[in-house]
Structures are given as C-alpha cells and as structure tokens.
Structure 1
Amino acid sequence: MRLFLSETFFDAVFKLPKKAQDKVVAFQKKFRENPASPGIHLEPIAQFKNSTMRTARLDDNYRVVIGMLNGNTYSLLYVADHEEAYRWGMSKKFVWNEHTQACQLVNVEEKEETKSPTAPVVETSTFFTGVPEDKLLKIGVPQETIGRVMSIKNLNDLDALEPILPLDAYENIFNIMDGENIDAVISTIEEGQAHDNEDKLLSDNNKRRFVEITDDDALQRIIEQGMDKWQIFLHPSQRKLVDAEYKGTMKISGGAGTGKTIAAIHRLKYLCQNPDAHVLFTTYTRTLSVNLADSIAKLDVPVQKYKLNNIDSVLLDVVKAYKIKDGYKVLDYSGDEESLKLWREVLETEVTEFDEQFLYDEYIDVIVYYGNKEVKQYMMQPRVGRTRALSRKQRVDIWKLVEKYVALKQERRVVDRLELFNEATNYLNDNGIHPYTNVIADEFQDFSNPELKFLRALVAEGKNDLFLVGDPIQRIYSGRKMNFGAAGINVRGVRSRKLKINYRTTEPIRRMAVGVIKGVDYDDMDGGKESTNGYVSLIHDGVAPQYKMVSDANAEVGQVMEWLEECQANDIKLSEICIAAPSMQLLKNIQSRLHRDGKEYRVLKGAQKQGSTDGIDLCTFHSLKGLEYRVIILIDVNERNIPSKVREGYPFSGMDKVAQKEFLSAKRSLLYVAITRARQLVFITGFGEKCELIKKD
C-alpha cells in the first residue's frame, strides 16, 4: 500500500499534545502494515460528502481523517478530537484532479450546487466571459464550481468563493486575475505534471501539498525534529528550479517571502547528491550565513559535500590557500577612512583639481569595478553612475595619481578589500583553479562586481555552475555597484526565472511594503528594470499594519510595551516577536525597559546572539535580512532615519546627485525588508516628523 501525508495533516499534527503525536506515529506504522486491521477502525461516515473519505480511531479522544484514492492508496488528511475531526471531514471532498495531476481537498457548502455546472447566463460581462470551460478545468477548477467561477467579476467575488475552492484552483485564478495569462498558467501546470511513464502521484503539482511516506520512521522524524513545512512541501515553481539540470548559470529573483532562499537550500541538497560534489553556498554577511546554517541543517545535507561561508570568509580562505598578497593588511572592512588617509598622503606632494574622496570613488567604482590594469583600459572605460565627466587629459592625470596610490599601498603592504577580490579572481583564472563544482549565492543584490567576478572564478563554466538567488528591490547597501554582464555572468533569457507568490506575509503587509518602494525604478542588474508586477500574497486575511507617531523617546517605549502586552494577551510568544531599529543605539531604551519589566530578550548583533532564546529578539533593520517573525515592531521610523527625499544637511550635504538617489533608494529598500519580515502583524512607531514613505492603505 501507499500512504501520503497532506499539508493539512502536517498543520494539524503539530497542534496536538506530545502524547497524541506519539500515538500518530504508532498509528501510521500500523496503518501501513494493514489498513484493514480491526484495531484501525477505518470506517466511512454517512455524513461525509463523498465515498473517498474515512475516519480511523487514534484513541478515545482523537480521530484521523483519511482520504482513499483507490483500494491501495491513502492520504492522511487531518487529525483532531472526535467532534472536530468529524466536523472537518463533513466539510470536505477528497478527489484526484486528472487535469492538474494533483489531489484536491474541495470545500463544500451545506447545500451543494444543484444547478447545471455550465456557465450561467449573465446580463453583464464577467472576468472569465469568453473563456472556454476546458481552460478553467485545466487550472484546477472542479466541475461543480465552474458556473460560480464564470460569474466572478472582480477579486472581491473571488474572495467570496475562496472557501469552496481547492487551494491550487484559487491560487491559479488569483494569478490570472492579477494579470497572468491563462495559457501561461496552464503551461506552468503542465510543466508540473508527470511525463511519459512517470508516477502521476509523484508529480510536482501533487507534491505541492501531498508527499509520500516511504518508510515507517519518516513521520516520526518529521514530528521529533519539529520540521518546518518548507522542508517537505515545495510549490511546483520552486521544485522545478530545484531539481532541474541547467546548461550554465541560473538566476532566481522574486519579492520578499516568495521562497527564493528555500529554493536555494533545496538546490544545495539536490547538487550534493552528486558523488563528486563540492558545493559552495555563500551570501554577503556573516549573520545571513549563520541563519542559513540552521536551515541547511534541517534538510540533513551531508556536511562533507558543501561549504557555507559569507563572501569575505571565502575570499580569505582562497587568499590564504594560495598565498595571494601574503602578509598584506586588508583595508575598508569598516569604511573607507584608511584608504582616504593614503589618498591624502598622495595628494600632499601633488597639485590636482581632485580631492581624496573623488579619487577614492573613481578608483573603486571604475578602475577596481572593471579590473583595469593599464591606463589604456581606463581611457576606454565607461563611467556609468559617475556624475562628473572627465576629459582624456584628466583621465591620464588621475591614472598617474592611481599609480602613486598603488605604489604607496605596496610599500605599506596594504590592499583595498575589493581590490583583493580582483587579485584572487585573476590568480584563479590565470592558473585554471576552480575550487568548487557548483556555487550557490543567496541575496545576490548585496554583492558588488568584484565579488561577482570572484564567484564566477570559483567554479568552471558549465553545467549547473552558478545558482544565484536574490531580489534587486532588497538592495539595502548603497554605493555597491554590480552588473551581471560586466562581471562575465550570463543570466539573460532562459537563464533567469522569477518567483512571484508571497507565502510569508499577509496581503495588508505586502501592500504597505510595496507602497514604500512605489515610484522608484530598481535596476535588475543586467540592463533592465525590476518590477513588482505579479508579486502577490495568497494570505488575504490579516490585520492592517499600524503606524503610530508619539511625542518622544519615552512615549515610544511606552507604545512598544503596550503592543507587547496586546500580543501576549493574544497568545503570541515573546520568541515570535522582534523589535528592530535603524541602529543598535536606538534600541537601548527598549532594552532597559525590557530588563526592568523582567521580559526576556536576545540581542542579535552581527553573527552573535546574546540572551534568551525564549525572549524577544532585538536587532537593527539590516540584521533582519533573511529572518522572519510572527510579529515585527519597528521603532524610530521617521523622516530623519528613513528619509523620503533629499534634505539640507547631513547626510546629503557631502553627496552628489547619484549618491543621494542611491542613498534614498537603499533606505526605501531597508524599510521594505524590515516590514516584510513579519508573517502576521506589523507595528511601527516613531517620534519627530512622520516618515512619508508609509502610506495609509
């Protein structure tokens, strides 16, 4: 016999007490041995809506609802106390949809439709007017609800039908009404089907919500390890990316909460199945790499097959292994002051129209960015993003100053950080050294061009070489220039895919976040524009985020404590809450108040986590990257910290127009990232001038 685990059963089993969970494990083992065993008590219920539904006795208090596809194939659908299990089962039908090749749980109304399933005659046109019935069947709409779907005029009508639609059908209809072409949706569904002689029950479409239990201990591992849903259930759009064989590089983009990192982690496990695999999984910050380590461990990826590290640590490993710039000190880990000091020394003996900041930026943003080694390369180089035009003579003069700067660095045995990436890249390419079989990079938008070139050099060009995951809209570090083409990485056409469905946040939270970045053009880092079109959340129910301005810092602390009390009154655990600020200094008052009130907390600073794992997390907006919580509380959000436009004085006074634009864009992205870390609730407060980026819905 074959036994499947449904997504609904997964959710239900984790709501049971521990003793009941243990009984579920024992039950499924007995069921796999003999579903007809008298001890199972597998029986139909007269009130159930179709003959495929059964219940089985777990103990005196709990029952399991089971779906039966044929005499030898079953699915665990739900588990709860007797009354709740019966009530749940009576509201469902369990069917196999041949059009999508997936099992469906169809919600049924008290009185089912008795009218013809064909489209009703309507006086006014509806959204699906003129759409053939067979196309609606192909996107998963049950035959008995075709007429209701054909009457839909807008999203409000769709929301009204949501309770009686299978989840996959609702999702597909929503995408179409949001602008996706129905034929494209059908094509995606067909891609998720089994092909030729493959098992239809193991199609990507079915594995989205139903996975097969292939051994007696599988369910026990799921429960004992407290597995997250993402470890087991993947959307077909994700699974297609994870299990594919690519001729070369693949770039995956998508908005916050669309499952990019999840796809990358599953991709790592897939690549590590290769006996010769030596995979690098990298990201920009140490904080992210630490968070990724926890997630990768949950998938039980063989540790000897991969290496996980942030990009700077990977660089230092290569530099050390091959003695590149051996004994040199690396500048610029904490800003550009050390490099500017050297530039000032160069200018002490030179008469020039350029100051040290301009020369430093020209060196990093043009010469190091493109890896120029000779003046003739620099003379021909485009200077995209540099506001001041230069004549040929000025470029020659600058190059002479650069030569003196480089000589001074060699004398002092120091090297600019990004320059070291170029040195390592050149060494690897010149010597034909490629340390890894595959490279996966998460949050690609955080990298600069020298770092991308370094990634390109770490693996030989070819099958499954680079898997790049990120979101250009989440680019929170201003001044970091990158372009895939300029880095020698081809991600155009079929080498680029986009995930669009937000599975993390509610629709009200998504709307607020998208409103923050509205009206700004974001570079897709390959010559085009990144768009939020099609980026939607399927979690429509939800409370609108709150943004409340207060009089001063003390009032802000009071407001935060009020929200915390409200959360606890609604059975939200402190460990499900994060309080974040633009800087750690701004969290001091909150930290003191939590300590005074005896509320446990943990400070997240870089890769360090100090404090109780059962308490509230405290961190900066930047440190929120890659994390998610049930509740996010953002403090000190105002025009001072998250400006909507250029203003006089700090920090804009020392910037040119390009730098000002990048700074504002990065601040918008930072707020967007912070808001989208929340699964359920967002509270925002501040004092001073209200942040104009946050609009009321």
Structure 2
Amino acid sequence: MSDDQPTVAISQDFMGAFAAIPRAQQKKVQEFVGKFRADPFSAGINYEKFHQARDPNFRSVRIDQDYRAIVLKPDTGNVYVLLWVDKHDDAYDWARRHRCDIHPQTGSLQLLQTRVEAGDTDPAKAEDDAGVSATSKGDPLFADLRDRELLRLGVPNDRLELVRTVHDEDGLEALETELPRESFEALYMLAAGESLQQVEQDFAASQTAEVDTEDFAAALQQPHSLRRFVVVEDDAALQAILEAPLEKWRVFLHPSQRRLVQWDTNGPVRVLGGAGTGKTVVAMHRARWLVNHLQEGAGASRKILFTTFTANLATDIRENLKKICTSEELERIEVTHVDQWVSRFLRRNEYPGRIVYDNDSDFGKCWDLALDQRPAEVGLPDSFYREEWERVILPQRIEDRTGYFRARRTGRGVALSRMQRAAIWPVFEELRIAMHQRGLRTIEDATQDAAELIEQGRGGYLPYYAIVVDEAQDMGPQGMRLLRQIVPRGKNDLFIVGDGHQRIYRRRYALSHCGIEVRGRSRKLRINYRTTEETRRFAVALLEGTAVDDLDGGDDDSKGYRSLMHGTPPEVVGFDSFDEELAWVAQRIRELQKQEIADADICLVARTNDRVTRYQKALEAKGVTVRPVSRKQADRRDQEGVRLATMHRVKGLEFRHVFIVDVNDGVIPLRYAVESSEDETERRATRDSERALLHVAATRAINGLYVTHTSSPSPFLTAIA
C-alpha cells in the first residue's frame, strides 16, 4: 500500500457489534462500510468529535438517524479504523469507556477499557477497582515478574500496579475487561502453571526497534494487532467478513497461530491442540501462506494438497478457504479427502482392482467364505477375526503366514502363540484369495498400492510441493505413509494438525513409523477460542481416564488447555419420555429464535442417522423448521431451518447453541457397537471412541450447550455428574 493511500481497518469488536444489531440495520451498515473502505475521505462521511470520548482520536460517524459508528482517526497519519457500531447513545457510551493506544514495548495497537477515575459519576466502581483482590490471602500471583517482563507480555504501563494486586485466578478474571487480550491470556496461562519461558514463546512481543507510539499504520502490522484488527484491502475480503460475522476467527490469528502459519521449516510440522484452539484455521492460513511464499521455483502448475479423512470435512474446508483466499490462490490449493485422492490416482494409473469398504456386499461374501476356514479347536469368536484383520493384517499389510508370525499385535486383547497364529492364518489367506478372484481391494490395501506406485516412480507426474493435513488423528497409518510419498522431502513439505482427544475412528499410528520425522518441529495450541470455559470443562470431563496419544507414540494431555470465555454451564436435563424431551427442546429453540438467534446458529445433534430422522419428523410436527446438514455439501447460512446432524457429521462445524439429544444408556455408547466384540480390550477401545464422539459434539457449542436424555442417562453423563 503506497504512502498516499489510506490504511482502512476493521476491529474484531466492530464485527461483534455488527453481528448483534438487528438484521434490518445491518444492510445500512454494510453500505456505509463499503463506502468507507472505498473512500474514507468521501464528502458523505462526516467525522464528528464529541466530548464524551476518552480518546481524542475517536470520531463518531452517522449511519442513519438512530445508529452511529465509532472510528479511530488519528490526527497524524492516514489511518482509519472502524471500532464499534451501535445505537446513538450506546455507541457514545462505548466510546466513553474505551481508548486506543500503541504499546511502547510491543508496538501493537491496543483497545483498552478506560478505568473510572476520581470525579467520574461512578465512585463505587472506582473503589472496587482500587481494591481488586484486596481481600485475597497469600502472596501476589505475579510477584516474581519484573516490570519489563510484564511489559513484554503486553501489559500497559498504567495497568502494572493493578496486575500486582492480583492474588488468585478469580482476581485475575475480574481484571479481564481492563487488560488487552494478549496480556490477559499470557497472565492467565502463567496462573495456570505454564512456565514464563513457554508463555513468552507464545505471547511475548518480538519487537526490537524503538516504537513510535504515534505511528498507527505500523502498529496495525504488528502480530498482536493483527489478531484484533484486519486491514481490508479489497471489496471481496470486506464482503466475506461482513457476511459471516460468526466466522471472524478466520480473519484474526493469535500471534502463536500466525507464527505456525509462517514457520519456515526444513521438514514436517506437527501441530496439536484441543477442540476450539483454531487448528483448522491455522491449517487453512498455512495453505494460503505456502501458495504465496513458495511460488518461486515451484512452477505455475505446482499446487498445495489440502487433505483430511472424510468427505464432509473436505467439503467444509473447501468452502471456508473461499472466505480467506483469492480465486488465484484457490486455483493452487487442491482440497480432497484421502480416499477420494487414492481412487482418482489409481484410476488414472489403470488400477485393476475395485476398491471396497466394509459395507460392500461382495466383500461380505468374501468374509463368509473366509470364516468357513476358522479352526474350531482355537475357540475364537467370529468378531475376533474381523478385528484381527482390521487391527493387524491390514495396517501391517500382511500377505503370508511368515509375515503374520512376525506381526506386532500391540493393543490386541487376545494373546496368540505361534501355533495359534498358524491355525488361524488360513482364514485371512482365504479372504485374500476370494478378494483377488473377484478383483476387490480394500481402501487400506489400495492406499498402500498407491504409495508403492509413487515410491517406484510409476505413478506419473504429481504437481504438489507441499501437503497440509487436517484432523490427522483419524487418517491411519496407510494414509500417512501415502502422504509421505506424494510430496518430495524438503522445506515445508508436510504440515500436520490433529488432536488425539477427538479421534472418533480407530486408526492409531506413530508419525515416525510412517516415515514422518517431526522432532523439533512440533507445537501445541492451548487456548480454546470457540467454547466457554464451562463447556470446555464439561467436554474434557467426558474423557477423564482415557489414554490419549500425541500422534507420534507419546502421550498427550490437557495441561494448559483453557478457554478464556465464560458463560452459563451446560444444561443436562433428564425426562421421563421422548415426548417430554421433545417438547422441552422445541420450547428452548423457540426462545432462542425470539432472541433473534438465527436458525443457522442452532444445531440439534443425535448419535445416528435414524435418530436424527426421528427428531426431524417430531420437530416438524411441532412446527419447527429444520434442515439436516448435508453429508455432501457445506452448510449455507442463508438457508432457513434449525440444523440437524449426527455426531460424526457435526465434527468440524460450530454453532452458537447446540442440543445433544437422546444421550441415553445404550445409545451413547452405542450398545451394538460395543457388544459386537467379545474382546474386552476392543470393547474398551470402542467406548473410548464413543466418549470422543460426545466430546466432539459438546465442543461444537459457542454460547449454549444443552444435553438431554430420557429414562437412564448415558454412563458418560453419570460419571461426571
């Protein structure tokens, strides 16, 4: 942007305020913002000073007779920042309570709530402010931190003494509105037990040059500024922001997220993080960054492959990328789920076999023939053979008896001697023969066939110079080995994000066993930006006692995982009958609609498709308009109807209010899924997957979570009651 062009930016607070005003007024605001971005000097925009403003750089701008926008318009520099929009008196009141400063240490632009001072109209609040945590016992929480360390974390000079009055987390939370977001988060993580070194790595400013506290254009480019303000440079970006205010997180990145996006590495990167920490957002911005920063020498035809495990997630990601990427950038990002990629690749290479899944009838006939070979003397149930096939034979690609003798059976509940392995191998041998005769290949075998073709140099030209992997915990070893083969080893080759706590499919692996080395290139996101802390605690409690891996053979935990938003605790309500449950849910939905909550912001979630259909018919009978979330298309916010989804489909989505219904014993965990095995180890693993499903569903909620059951509740609920 040249020096004579104005810098026009929008704050996160403006977008939140915009989302909260009536829809009828939003159109007028959109028209004003479009005019404002195109020409902030326009004669039709009248910047008015007003004595109520604490910041001399604040101006009021008329939207219509009732509404005003608050704009930061410094006297020096060519900068215009939209800060707030509201009714006339409310907008002025907001301006009276806020100011914008450039932090002298970090150089970032900070929006601060002003403190009530002597002579103001609220002396009681001034007394409260002066005595924050005065009744707390013990040493101050941050007594060991020096002023320069607090300043590096973004604490304003005039808040240093206030921070030193804090004695506990409750006292810190009471200061949340009085501190910049970055410094509050840093202090919160310190209070939660994180080391100063780790917190400085994630939150401290890297500013080394002397800061000009009057240069607002430079301040807007600082990492901590970019998480709260976005400089809008074209109409398409502006329209995308205003059309989806709930999705503002796609625009604003935390500095720790931005560092991951722009991390120039000499090999694969692994990013872990709990639900709501922004892993997918980071992955999408990483893909865009790779397109824009690795084009030199890559060739005009080279692409980024963005892949995930399910078709649903790939569809959602493709739509979300449109909100942050230009059409030219999108042309160089290929989004597909891994099975689809395998199918297309093998078809292009004239693969002779037909790929089948578990529910294929021809595959079922092969199993019937194979089970005729099971030895009676071993005394194993039929379910054992299916589990052995899925957990041992397929992942290790065992083709003969010798390979089976050598196979690792880690995690299997039934130990087998060499003699027993020899006795049962004919079952799997017959299955292989039957499938070969019919020209069938499992997706697991087909994936490994694709990897071998590439490794042998027989797969043809592949246009990719980097791969971004989302929801990597569900990919499985075959998929990860394939991805390692698709892209050449080198700088920024693989960017892998995932969370073992959200593994809803039984596909464990270690990256190192798949040829992917991430030592020294692993990071973890800890702050949940989606849900309230109350919902996060509820969701985490559902996984209590469940062992979780870090995708590379180690353990993962929830240490340091926090949400800094607070709200009402999740409502867990039991009923005597389905009709009573339905009546309550329908009533709550109507109450939300009366509060002008859009249908697209409400979702009802059930365990299976059959159960979703049951609630769909029942709600429609009560006059509630509903819309099942498609398995093939991304959800469109402009379509009417409360959303309905299974627990699997809701993964990757978010809604302001989520109803998880029918959380009954026998439904969650699903009884037939658990009891399909006679191996207690398998049953325990299935229950863990069901826990993860409920955990994932709960973490889709932004503001309100409602969990209902009839008769006997799920044991997962009674365990945390």
Q: Give TM-score scaled by structure 1 length.
A: 0.89
Q: 1:145-544, aligned counterparts within 5 Å? A: 145-190=159-204, 193=207, 201-214=220-233, 219=238, 222-223=241-242, 228-273=247-292, 274=295, 275-301=300-326, 302-324=329-351, 326-333=352-359, 337-347=364-374, 357-373=383-399, 375-399=401-425, 402-431=428-457, 433=459, 435=462, 436-477=464-505, 479-492=506-519, 494-540=520-566, 542-544=567-569
Distance 1:338 1:461, change over 3 A: farther
Q: What amino acid maps onto 2:92 in structure 1?
A: Y
Displacement of 1:539 in angstroms is 1.0
Is the CA contact 1:97–1:103 (under 8 Å) kept in the aligned structure 2?
Answer: yes
| Structure 1 residue matching 2:529: 3-state secondary structure | strand
| Structure 1 residue matching 2:564: 3-state secondary structure | strand
Deviates more, 1:301-310 or 1:237-246: 301-310
Aligned residue number for residue 546 of structure 1: 571
Is the CA contact 1:510–1:537 (under 8 Å) kept in the aligned structure 2?
Answer: yes
Q: Give, in whole Å, the separation in 1 of the partners of 2:190 and 2:635.
A: 46
Displacement of 1:353 in angstroms is 5.9
| Structure 2 residue matching 1:364: 3-state secondary structure | helix
Is the CA contact 2:138–2:167 (under 8 Å) kept in the aligned structure 1?
Answer: no
Q: What amino acid maps onto 2:647 in structure 1?
A: F
Q: Structure 1 vs Structure 2: percent identity of aligned residues?
A: 30
Q: Give, in whole Å, the separation in 2 of the partners of 1:610 and 1:160.
A: 38
Is the CA contact 1:287–1:623 (under 8 Å) kept in the aligned structure 2?
Answer: yes
Is the CA contact 2:54–2:99 (under 8 Å) kept in the aligned structure 1?
Answer: yes
Task: Give 5+ residue unaligned stretches, structure 1.
Answer: none
Q: 1:77 aligns with which of 71, 75, 83?
A: 83
| Structure 2 residue matching 1:64: 3-state secondary structure | strand
Displacement of 1:334 in angstroms is 5.5
Is the CA contact 1:248–1:465 (under 8 Å) kept in the aligned structure 2?
Answer: yes
Q: Give, in whole Å, the separation in 1 of the partners of 2:432 and 2:518.
A: 34
Displacement of 1:272 in angstroms is 2.4
Q: Deviations over 1:96-154 (max 9, x none)?
A: 0132221111111222689999x999984121123212211221111222122111111
Q: Give, in whole Å, the separation in 2 of the partners of 1:360 and 1:284.
A: 22
Q: What amino acid maps onto 1:148 in structure 2?
A: L
Deviates more, 1:170-179 or 1:53-62: 53-62
Q: What amino acid maps onto 1:168 in structure 2?
A: E
Aligned residue number for residue 214 of structure 2: none
| Structure 1 residue matching 2:624: 3-state secondary structure | coil
Distance 1:237 1:292, change over 3 A: same
Q: What amino acid maps onto 1:312 in structure 2?
A: D
Displacement of 1:322 in angstroms is 1.0
Q: Deviations over 1:496-515 (max 9, x none)?
A: 21111111111111111111
Q: What amino acid maps onto 1:463 in structure 2?
A: K
Is the CA contact 2:319–2:634 (under 8 Å) kept in the aligned structure 1?
Answer: no
Q: 1:21 aligns with which of 19, 22, 30?
A: 30
Q: Give, in whole Å, the separation in 1 of the partners of 2:238 and 2:354.
A: 53
Q: Give, in whole Å, the separation in 1 of the partners of 2:426 and 2:261.
A: 50
Displacement of 1:389 in angstroms is 2.6
Q: What amino acid maps onto 2:53 in structure 1?
A: F
Residue 125 in structure 1 maps to residue 150 in structure 2: no
Distance 1:447 1:202, change over 3 A: same
Is the CA contact 1:580–1:632 (under 8 Å) kept in the aligned structure 2?
Answer: yes
Q: Give, in whole Å, the separation in 2 of the partners of 1:549 and 1:619.
A: 21
| Structure 2 residue matching 1:293: 3-state secondary structure | helix
Is the CA contact 2:606–2:646 (under 8 Å) kept in the aligned structure 1?
Answer: yes
Q: Give, in whole Å, the separation in 1 of the partners of 2:591 and 2:240.
A: 35
Is the CA contact 1:279–1:437 (under 8 Å) kept in the aligned structure 2?
Answer: yes
| Structure 2 residue matching 1:228: 3-state secondary structure | helix
Is the CA contact 1:250–1:495 (under 8 Å) kept in the aligned structure 2?
Answer: yes
Deviates more, 1:434-443 or 1:90-99: 434-443
Q: Give, in whole Å, the separation in 2 of the partners of 1:395 and 1:381.
A: 10
Q: Give, in whole Å, the separation in 1 of the partners of 2:12 and 2:388.
A: 54
Is the CA contact 2:137–2:167 (under 8 Å) kept in the aligned structure 1?
Answer: no
Displacement of 1:327 in angstroms is 4.2
Is the CA contact 2:473–2:508 (under 8 Å) kept in the aligned structure 1?
Answer: no
Task: Give 5+ residue unaligned stretches, structure 2.
Answer: 1-5, 119-125, 212-216
Q: Give TM-score scaled by structure 2 length.
A: 0.87
Q: What amino acid maps onto 2:470 in structure 1?
A: D
Displacement of 1:44 in angstroms is 4.0
Q: Give, in whole Å, the separation in 1 of the partners of 2:705 and 2:153.
A: 34
Residue 686 in structure 1 maps to residue 691 in structure 2: no
Displacement of 1:84 in angstroms is 2.1
Deviates more, 1:326-335 or 1:571-580: 326-335
Q: Give, in whole Å, the separation in 1 of the partners of 2:142 and 2:155.
A: 13
Q: Give, in whole Å, the separation in 1 of the partners of 2:391 and 2:557.
A: 26
Distance 1:561 1:651, change over 3 A: same
Is the CA contact 1:42–1:56 (under 8 Å) kept in the aligned structure 2?
Answer: yes
Q: What amino acid maps onto 2:490 in structure 1?
A: G
Q: Give, in whole Å, the separation in 2 of the partners of 1:317 and 1:681.
A: 42
Q: Give, in whole Å, the separation in 1 of the partners of 2:720 and 2:545.
A: 16
| Structure 2 residue matching 1:681: 3-state secondary structure | strand
Q: 1:651 aligns with which of 655, 665, 674?
A: 674
Distance 1:155 1:364, change over 3 A: same
Distance 1:189 1:603, change over 3 A: closer
Is the CA contact 1:500–1:534 (under 8 Å) kept in the aligned structure 2?
Answer: yes
Q: What amino acid maps onto 1:568 in structure 2?
A: Q
| Structure 2 residue matching 1:686: 3-state secondary structure | strand
Q: Deviations over 1:55-101 (max 9, x none)?
A: 34555544432335560043332233332222111111210013222
Displacement of 1:357 in angstroms is 4.0
Q: Deviations over 1:637-672 (max 9, x none)?
A: 02222249xx9x983373312211211111111110
CA root-mean-square deviation: 3.3
Displacement of 1:577 in angstroms is 1.2
